[in-house]
Structure 1
Amino acid sequence: MIDLRLLREDPDRVRASQRARGEDVELVDALLSADERRRSSGVRFDELRSEQKQLGKLVPKASPEERAELLKRAEQLKSEVKAAEATQNEADEEAKRLLLRLGNIVHEDVPVGGEDDFVVLETHGTIRDFAAEGFEPKDHLELGEALRAIDVERGAKVSGSRFYYLTGVGALLELALVNAAIAQATEAGFTPMLTPTLVRPRAMEGTGFLGQAAENVYHLEKDDYYLVGTSEVPLAAYHMDEIIDADQLPLRYAGFSPCYRREAGTYGKDTRGIFRVHQFDKVEMFSYVMPEDAEAEHKRLLEWEKQWLTSLELPFQVIDVATGDLGASASRKYDCEAWIPTQGKYRELTSASNCDSFQARRLSVRMREGKKVQPLATLNGTLCAVPRTIVALLENHQLADGSVRVPPVLRPYLGGRELLEPVAK
């Protein structure tokens, strides 16, 4: 959540942020009104409680006549205090409810617009000219089936559409990617983590995934657990309700977990293969830093993602995501999009988001610097979303005979294999 002081001091900035996100601007005024009611009712409650305490001191010293009047007033005060407390609690709950609906304040440099209004910041690598090489590229599913690496038919039989099996070299390729990604993250100073994939409502709400993103979250109603769509959720909640000494920062974690997404609103989109699926594995970077270090850490996360994609020898571009596509928690987000030859365009492989103190406030994660205690900043960055990375690897490194070249960074994790070769039927 945002700092309420910012809302009171500069409501126009918050309105502008909501407008840029394409979100409800009237929410700002509703929250301002609820905050004023909360504060005024709090003042009224304090005044009544103060009078009640003073009255309690006067009664023992009063004459019999005065005591009767004082006791009468004490009885009135008892009811008034109770009513004032109820009003204060109601206003406080309303303010909290509205505050949780408000997105993070977008960074002033973020391009305004929707999904297609991003700005390309950088382009890396060379897109292969398959025509010059004398063959038409196959898509990842055709390649994966020939390699006996991907089985979507049995995935659909067992679990429905957008599910799959990785078999043989496909399973080995996932393990190679995960091990290589964790090795890079560990070398960069991240602590590897295997995280829970079932979390309580507060963890999911605290990270900002129960607002506009709720339609893509799986909820187990009987037990009131949520299946995470990213290990960002348990990593953000790892230090929930804790105070961290400033000299311990930054704290960096690399989480590996299965992830689950309903993919609501994507009917008919990316239905072939394993690009857009309901369950996948992912390595996620997560940082806790001092607020003043958040922007620099954001750039570091992006550099680590670029290092990873470069090591996989994938052509990719870096985009500055537009305001309407940020998600509630991020003030700014960079995506790395890899070139997918059979689609003829770049598609998202990784994201790096700066959430400032938005998640930390919601989860009550604070830092202590001297005598000062305040919310810290959190950031997250995908290092390797496995299925999409496999899609990019197979299509970009395919050879004319249907085999796939293995980038050197993965070879130590694949027994030194330089090629993945089709399996005879």
Structure 2
Amino acid sequence: MIDLKLLREDPEALRASQRARGEDPGAVDVLLAADESRREAVGRADVLRAEQRQLGKKIGAARGDERAELLTHGKELAAAVKEAEAAQAQADEALAAAQRALPNLVIPGVPEGGEDDYVVLDHVGTPPEFDFEVRDHLELLESLGAVDMERGAKVSGARFFFLTGIGAQLQLALLTMAMNKAVAAGFTMMIPPVLVKPEIMEGTGFLGAHASEVYRLREDDLYLVGTSEVPLAGYHAGEIIDLSAGPRRYAGWSTCFRREAGSYGKDTRGIIRVHQFDKIEMFSYCRPEDAADEHQRLLGWEKDMLAAVEVPYRVIDTAAGDLGASAARKFDCEGWVPSQGRYRELTSTSNCTTFQARRLNIRYRDEDGKPQTAATLNGTLATTRWLIPILENHQQPDGSVRVPKALQPFLGGRDILEPVR
């Protein structure tokens, strides 16, 4: 949710942000008009209520015909107050709707444009060269007895699967390693609910343009989360939190659900784009002035994790039109996938500034004890998708897969995964 003070002081900054995103800058003018209308409605209602209070005092002191006249005027004034309060309520609703329709203000320096207009910030590691025919992740998973796509589709439909045997163990090892790293870095481990109320899903910004991605249980009026960012953002909703010792950091381990609406025909092979997966998500609350530094810290932890699994990757600065409503800036780490000869997204870390916290009413106290809106950030530390580059980059000619050294202790010391079929 956009800060109305910013709107009034610098509407052109918001218009420029909209243009960078490829969105309509006219939405800023709609919000300005709604803000002005609400202030006028509040002012009129306040004047009438004050007049009503003064009239009440006069009526108490009046007698005879004067009192009767004042009482008649009081009835007329009461009706006017009721009408003004109704108008104020309508103006409140219109302002809230206009405010929620506007995505977060893009941070200066974010590339303009859409999905393909990102800027590559760094390349880490060298893609391996193979002197044998490269197998893709699905071939490797199936040969290792690590996945069952056919029965996943039988039980749940397309884009569902069973991780079996070493596949399940490998995912558990990966996520456990990621969570251990998060806890060692000072994060509080969380296993959050995966069903949330509408106000929490909306508060994080996921019921706007991307609402079609979200699974909804209409009978219970609950939503399945596509990331534990949602319940972790809602964890402190309506609270004043203590940030005197620095950022508050949580790491959520959860199953995530995405409808993948609009992705028909894309990445249908294997487990690249599926409806259900598991993820470790970092989430941070901090003071707004600390958010940029915290964003770099989250990115650093992601890079450390990628180094641990020995996957070549690149870091991109995501273009404004591909940010999503809540993010003011987003860095992606994309891992090298040999079978495709290209980089694919493995992590994202987003600085959401005060956008989510303003919607969810999450505050902290400044040095003077005055409540201020907090900033929120999130970042992926590991997901099911990571199995793809881990398997493909470490495959060997006989179909076996080398286990990265850092991951071996979490697999009982195993250093090689052998084919079973």
Q: TM-score, normalised by structure 2?
A: 0.99
Match of 1:58 in 2: 58
Q: Paired residues, what number?
A: 420
Match of 1:26 in 2: 26
Match of 2:116 in 1: 116
Q: Find the aligned partners of 2:362 and 2:46 in 1 and give their Cα distance.
A: 29
Q: Find the aligned partners of 1:50 and 1:246 in 2 and give their Cα distance.
A: 40
Structure 2 matches for 1:161-176, cutoff 5 A? 161-176=158-173
Structure 2 matches for 1:143-222, cutoff 5 A? 143-222=140-219
| Alignment partner of 1:377 is 2:375 | yes
| SS at structure 2 position matched to 1:76 | helix
- Deviation of residue 27 (structure 1)? 1.5
Deviations 1:71-130 (A, max 9, x none): 121111010000000000000111001111110000110000100000000000111111
Q: Which amino acid aligns with 1:357?
A: T
Q: Which amino acid aligns with 1:9?
A: E
Q: Which amino acid aligns with 1:351?
A: S
Q: Find the aligned partners of 1:17 and 1:269 in 2 and give their Cα distance.
A: 30
Q: Find the aligned partners of 1:15 and 1:226 in 2 and give their Cα distance.
A: 32
| SS at structure 1 position matched to 2:85 | helix
The one of 392, 399, 410 aligned to 2:389 = 392
Identical aligned pairs, as a percentage? 62
| Alignment partner of 1:223 is 2:220 | yes
- Deviation of residue 249 (structure 1)? 3.3
Q: Find the aligned partners of 2:138 and 2:74 in 1 and give their Cα distance.
A: 78
| Alignment partner of 1:301 is 2:298 | yes
| SS at structure 1 position matched to 2:271 | coil
- Alignment root-mean-square deviation, CA: 0.8
The one of 393, 413, 418 aligned to 1:416 = 413
Contact 2:183 2:189 in 1 (8 A): yes
Structure 1: which 5+ runs fail to align? none
| SS at structure 2 position matched to 1:402 | coil
Q: Find the aligned partners of 1:170 and 1:56 in 2 and give their Cα distance.
A: 76
Q: Find the aligned partners of 2:176 and 2:30 in 1 and give their Cα distance.
A: 49
- Deviation of residue 315 (structure 1)? 0.2
Q: Find the aligned partners of 1:362 and 1:202 in 2 and give their Cα distance.
A: 9
Match of 2:320 in 1: 323
Q: Which amino acid aligns with 1:371?
A: G
Q: Find the aligned partners of 1:214 and 1:61 in 2 and give their Cα distance.
A: 59
| SS at structure 1 position matched to 2:244 | helix
| Alignment partner of 1:356 is 2:353 | yes
Match of 2:250 in 1: 253
Q: Find the aligned partners of 1:204 and 1:300 in 2 and give their Cα distance.
A: 26
| Alignment partner of 1:343 is 2:325 | no
Q: Find the aligned partners of 2:227 and 2:59 in 1 and give their Cα distance.
A: 61
Deviations 1:38-90 (A, max 9, x none): 11111111111111111111112224232122112111101000000000000
Deviations 1:254-299 (A, max 9, x none): 0000000000111111000001100000000000011100000000
Q: Which amino acid aligns with 2:30?
A: A
Q: Find the aligned partners of 1:411 and 1:120 in 2 and give their Cα distance.
A: 31
Q: Which amino acid aligns with 1:76?
A: E
Q: Find the aligned partners of 1:74 and 1:248 in 2 and give their Cα distance.
A: 55
| SS at structure 2 position matched to 1:234 | helix
| Alignment partner of 1:234 is 2:225 | no
Q: Find the aligned partners of 2:58 and 2:78 in 1 and give their Cα distance.
A: 16
Q: Find the aligned partners of 1:248 and 1:94 in 2 and give their Cα distance.
A: 39
- Deviation of residue 371 (structure 1)? 2.3
Contact 2:175 2:383 in 1 (8 A): no
| SS at structure 1 position matched to 2:24 | coil
The one of 266, 271, 290 aligned to 1:269 = 266
Match of 2:136 in 1: 139
Q: Find the aligned partners of 1:359 and 1:205 in 2 and give their Cα distance.
A: 9
Q: Find the aligned partners of 1:278 and 1:190 in 2 and give their Cα distance.
A: 27
Match of 1:280 in 2: 277
Q: Which amino acid aligns with 1:102?
A: L
| SS at structure 1 position matched to 2:167 | helix
Contact 2:119 2:317 in 1 (8 A): yes
Q: Which amino acid aligns with 2:156?
A: S
Q: Which amino acid aligns with 2:74?
A: A
Deviations 1:122-169 (A, max 9, x none): 000111111xxx201100000110000011111111111111111110
Structure 2: which 5+ runs fail to align? none
Q: Which amino acid aligns with 1:411?
A: Q
- Deviation of residue 248 (structure 1)? 4.3
- Deviation of residue 26 (structure 1)? 1.8
Deviations 1:318-360 (A, max 9, x none): 0000000000000000000000001010000000100000000
Match of 1:35 in 2: 35
Q: Which amino acid aligns with 1:188?
A: A
| Alignment partner of 1:103 is 2:103 | yes
Q: Which amino acid aligns with 2:22?
A: G
- Deviation of residue 245 (structure 1)? 2.5
Q: Which amino acid aligns with 2:179?
A: I
